[in-house]
Amino acid sequence: MTTDINQTITQITEIIINELKLEDVTPQTFDPDLDLVDEVGIDSMDLATIALVLRDVYGIRIEEDDYPKLTTVRIIAEYIDNKLTSGE
Amino acid sequence: MITVSSLLDDHWYERYRKISKLNIRSSIYDVTDRCNLRCKGCFFFSSGEHEAASEEKDLGKWHVFVENEMARGVNLAILIGGEPTLCLDRIEAFYKRLPTFCATNGLIKVPRDRFPDMMVGLSLWGDEKDEKILRGQDTFKISSANYEGDPHAYYLYTITPKQLGKTEKIIKKITDVGLKVHMQLLSNDEGVDGFSWKPDELVAVRAEMDDMLDKYPRTVISSKYYHEIITTGVMLGRSFGWMECPSVTEPIDKRSPRPKRLTNFIRWASDLRTMHRCCTSETRDCSTCKDGAAHMSWVMVNKRAHIKTTEDLRNWIEVYEMFAKLYQFIPW
């Protein structure tokens, strides 16, 4: 479980770095507990973009109402993990 | 990686946090095709938008429509014209459900027993002389009497080239009636002689807007970065225009690459079916558009582009705060 979640965290971090073209950071140096809105400065349009990619990669739908609580990469990874586990 | 907190001290970071999760999703609605004025330069009439659709008269359909808009994620209704106050029942369909802003010429007073805290934007196009030339009458005399001291109303002062050197007189008048003011620039869609901006006039008006903000910080709701953007049309080295505008109606936005834009934004005509191209005139040349809200939104949707330097990010915060104040998401 821990290994899986860490892989998911790395994958999500790669997606975010690529999609948002974040500079001077790698999946290894990105803090998964960093607040994406308060610190990275992503907005709802960024989140919508990321959600589309995550849908394609993991085959899960991220509800728009859930965006506000997806504040860190770790929380997103746990959200995806829960969806995959519950088969939603 | 540059983070927000690495660029801001505690004071600015706290300001940032107050607005960072607001997630404002606005759309714009023509409430009616009619107006009790016919102003030269009003894009609604000059571009034929009053004839684009026949207004929906069934009030029940307005209520259903607003419910659908909420389901679409809209959390701020911006009501424009014609003149919305001609149709208070339609305004109420929005106000009962959503944070609502109503743009009006102020000739009809919104009854505060019915709409106690609805934000009202009072259009003003200059001093008595300009108002008479462009609008046929001095609206300030009536609107200021209707709204004096109202905490949920402010003037939307559209500055024209003829107002250069005279804006302080207007700001003082507004201060004296206990109201706030937000400044924007006339786009002169109808090409009224002498009302189109020349480059040196835009430089001068920017300095004058800055001066008014410095002198009347309690009255003027603005930011110097907004003044820079709206007068130069340039943000972070990029020029405003069709390929940058954030306020294009989303279902008809076929631009590629798609720029950063307002999520789910639509400008609806009053038939509740027709969509206008954008937040302002469909016939306007985007490269010379001076629409204040579009320029504000342009800054707001480009947040991460401003997370480069402390000055850039502070500029972004000030513009976002200005927008949030004008639509009552944060206090004055």
How confident is the model at residue A88, as a pLDDT? 65
Contact A68 B260 (CB under 8 A): no
How confident is the model at residue A56, as a pLDDT? 94
Phi-psi region of A45 (alpha: psi -120 to 50; beta: other; left: phi over 0): alpha
A20, A37, A45 ranked by CB distance to B21: nearest: A37
Q: Kindly tell me if the per-residue pLDDT of A46 is higher than 80.
A: yes
Q: Any idea where the domains of chain A sit in the sequence?
A: 2-17+35-86
Distances (CA, A) of B184 to B155, B226, B303: 10, 10, 22
- Where is average pLDDT lowest: B17-21, B39-43, B123-127, B146-150? B39-43
Cβ–Cβ contact A5 with B under 8 A: no
How confident is the model at residue B198, as a pLDDT? 95
Residue carrying structure tokens 């949707």: B301
Provide the whole-model pTM: 0.93
- Cβ contact B117:B84 at 8 Å: no
Q: DSSP 3-state assignment of B198?
A: coil
Cβ contacts of B151 within 8 Å, gap of 6 or more: none
Q: Kindly tell me if the per-residue pLDDT of A1 is higher than 50.
A: no
- Where is average pLDDT lowest: A3-7, B125-129, B149-153, B224-228? A3-7
Cβ–Cβ contact A39 with B under 8 A: yes
Contact A41 B260 (CB under 8 A): no
Query: B-chain residues within 8 Å CB-CB of A45?
Result: 260-261, 263, 301
Cβ–Cβ contact A20 with B under 8 A: yes
Cβ contacts of B327 within 8 Å, gap of 6 or more: B24, B26, B76, B78, B99, B101, B119
Tokens representing residue B144 in the block: 């200021």
H helix intervals, chain B:
4-7, 10-20, 43-46, 59-71, 88-95, 128-135, 139-147, 167-176, 199-215, 224-232, 292-301, 310-326
Query: A-chain residues within 8 Å CB-CB of B21?
Result: 37, 68
Cβ–Cβ contact A34 with B under 8 A: yes
Give the B-side interface with A, CB within 8 Å: 1-5, 16-17, 20-21, 23, 25, 73, 260-261, 263, 301, 303-304, 307
Q: What is the ipTM of this complex?
A: 0.89
Contact A38 B2 (CB under 8 A): no
Mean pLDDT of B291-312: 96
How confident is the model at residue A3, as a pLDDT? 53
How many Å lie between the alpha carbon of B78 and the closest alpha carbon of chain A?
20
Distances (CA, A) of B170 to B39, B111, B132, B291: 19, 26, 15, 20
Q: Any idea where the domains of chain B sit in the sequence?
A: 24-326
Mean pLDDT of B247-253: 96
With CA atoms as reference, report the closest residue to B139 among B280, B216, B36: B36
Cα atoms in the Cβ-side hemisphere of radius 13 Å centred on B277: 16
Contact A68 B21 (CB under 8 A): yes
Contact B303 A43 (CB under 8 A): yes
Mean pLDDT of B108-117: 98
Residue carrying structure tokens 């976002």: B320
Q: DSSP 3-state assignment of B156?
A: strand
- Cβ contact B158:B126 at 8 Å: yes
* pLDDT band with cut points at 50, 70 and 90 for residue B133: confident
- Mean of per-residue pLDDT scores for chain A: 90
How confident is the model at residue B226, as a pLDDT? 98
- Mean of per-residue pLDDT scores for chain B: 94
With CA atoms as reference, report the closest residue to A61 among A46, A48, A45, A44: A48
Q: Does domain B24-326 have CATH number 3.40.50?
A: no
With CA atoms as reference, report the closest residue to A80 among A47, A45, A55: A55
Mean pLDDT of A55-74: 91
Q: What type of residue sits at position A27?
A: P
